[in-house]
A and B are shown apart, each in its own frame.
Chain A
Amino acid sequence: MFEDSILLWKFKCGNRDAFCLIYEKYAGHLLTLAANLLDNKDDAEDVVQDVFISFVESIDKFRLTGSLKSYLATCVVNRSRDYIRKGKRRRTAAENQSQLPTSITRSPVQLAVFSEELNKLSDALTELPYQQREAIVLRLHGEMKFRQIARLNNVSVKTVQSRYRYGLEKLRSLLNGEVKK
């Protein structure tokens, strides 16, 4: 918290190196979050880029009230949701699978992991309803509490817990199905 405050102040004072440090500190985490939400490398990069652009444009008025990491993660979640709502999202790897050669259809996460099991899991994640996927990704990658996810979605904690539980259950079923194949 303290270090982020220092970086923010330096950045507000016009120090661009401070911004680069903020970027280096959180971009990887945000890209993973966006990639798992959108399952498209280019979309994930666009979303993270847009979040950072909004952040620098609002820096004069920006006031840190919690952790910077959580703030940026929340921005990524909201923007990912906008992407999907506005239909900006490019086709996911899974959607493309039937049309493109296997070598270029891997999702961004799959491109980064070589384990077959993880690739299957990544595919399975894309098959979940978005709300369930979001609950799982925010909980496990965004390191958010159910309470935070509920507030973000304006729903009850129980609803989020249900989405998480059903999502996880479905993933287990999908994975087991794959294994049987």
Chain B
Amino acid sequence: MRPAEKVEKLIKKLQYKASAETHDKVLNNVIQAMDRYEKQKPGARASNIRSSIMKHPIIKLAAAAAIIIVIIVGVSHFGGNGANLVYAGVVEQLASARTMTYSILTQTPVESMPTLRLEMAFKEPGCVRTITADGYINIIDWSQNRGISIWPPERQYIDFEASNLQHDPEKNSFMVVEKLRTLPYRADEVLGEKEIDGRVLQGFRVTKADMINTVWIDPVTEQLVRVEIKYPNAPGMNTIMTDFQFNVELDDSLFSLTPPADFTRMEVQADASTITEQDLIEYLRMWSTWTKDATFPPTFNPLELPKITAEMIKQGEFGEDRTQEQEHSAEAMRMYRGIMFVTQLPAESNWRYAGENVQFGDAATPIFWYRPIGSGTYRVIYGDLHVEEVAPENLPD
């Protein structure tokens, strides 16, 4: 009598190796079916429109600036206390993971703004990779203090230095993964069970002043399934993280800082220590020259910027682009530094942006204010881009 293991081994050898012709035939048939389906699809024309929007110089610049920053904000800020062993186990898993991958979905209540989806991968000792649904890739290797942003549709890349950035997860907004890993061992609230996407999950809530984090764990497998973040200051906007995988093999090539061959380079130095208020002012000035009505950008949220820019292009709100191709990298740099100034401000700066629909030259309307660290007064930037020191009691409502 043959041992069962031998029969099992034999069965595993029963492989069907199809010929190259067979594969070609099947693949061709599928591609033909794809062609037929594409023609029938109502969105076929829309995708062409979208493609031309994505080629617009300003959206390129918005994407260029945002893609570097996009991993910074709105993803993982946790704090609080509470108690549950399952929850604590997940926190431990986060803290000890060699590799981690998850998806990030950011939605806004504005119908015209498409949902933004990012896939994130992390690998020790400090490599982070994000990719957007449009294929824009961002990689940072903290062990080398270097990063690269790759834009396959434009066949361009930016390599940048990530030096002079703080490595304290509590202070440095770049450390997204580290922040996720600083999730407290005790949640504020245990929410009980709820069915999400056909799975019964157990919820835990961690609340901070500017965001409410809800962590969903599968009580059977004790695996982290979903993290939801809501922003009390932006009702309707939320970030959802799903598809968590821990300790899966991630090839080093995914985190390579070597640009793809035949891609052209746009140089950016992301040395955050040299970014000042003046960078913000230059960015605001530049944006107001792009819009037909000389208004300032509607938002400072890098997650939203490319979407809003795309929408504005669709609405014809930008004037004709007269910038020479070689000036685009300088503009992208200016945009990046302006947004970085804001995203790097600490929470205690209490910064506010109110420039939406304000026209350049409006000397009476404050468009941005913040309190520098250690200062008793606020720096207020007005619509004509002059700056004043203002006491807290005299700030706009």
Contacts and interface: CB of A to CB of B under 8 A. Distances in A.
Interface residues of A, number: 54
A171 B133 contact: no
A60 to B, nearest CB: 8
A113 B16 CA distance: 8
Contact of B16 (A10, A35, A53, A64): A35
Given A52-B30, A64-B243, A168-B4, A1 B14 contact: no
A15 interface: yes
A13 B14 contact: no
Interface residues of B, number: 45
B114 to A, nearest CB: 13
B85 interface: no
B11 A27 contact: no
Contacts, number: 128
A2 B10 contact: no
Contacts of B37: 56-57
A9 interface: yes
A115 B14 CA distance: 10
B254 interface: yes
Contacts of A136: 11
Interface string B298-319: 0000000000000000000000
Contacts of B29: 49, 53
A176 interface: yes
A176 B7 CA distance: 11
A88 to B, nearest CB: 17
B33 A36 contact: no
Interface string A1-18: 111011001101111100
A6 B131 contact: yes
A32 interface: yes
Nearest to B250: A2
B251 to A, nearest CB: 8
Contacts of B245: 1-2
A29 to B, nearest CB: 9
A135 B201 CA distance: 30
**Centre residue among B16, B103, B119 by max chain A CB count within 10 A:** B16
Interface in A74-103: none
B258 interface: no
Contacts of B327: none
B47 interface: yes
Interface stretch (B17-25, B175-183, B349-357): B17-25
B381 to A, nearest CB: 38
B10 A52 contact: no
Contacts of A9: 117, 119, 131-133, 135
B8 interface: yes
B18 A45 contact: yes
Interface string B24-49: 01110111011001000101000100
A176 B18 contact: no
A3 B119 CA distance: 10
Given A5-B243, A13-B133, A64-B243, A125 B14 contact: yes
A59 to B, nearest CB: 9
Nearest to A5: B119
A45 B22 contact: yes
Interface of B: 1-2, 4, 7-8, 10-18, 22-23, 25-27, 29-31, 33-34, 37, 41, 43, 47, 101, 103, 117, 119, 121, 131-135, 197, 243, 245, 248, 250-251, 254
23 contacts: A2-B245, A2-B254, A3-B254, A5-B119, A6-B119, A10-B135, A15-B135, A28-B18, A31-B18, A31-B22, A60-B43, A112-B15, A112-B17, A113-B15, A115-B13, A136-B11, A137-B11, A140-B12, A141-B14, A169-B4, A172-B1, A172-B7, A176-B1
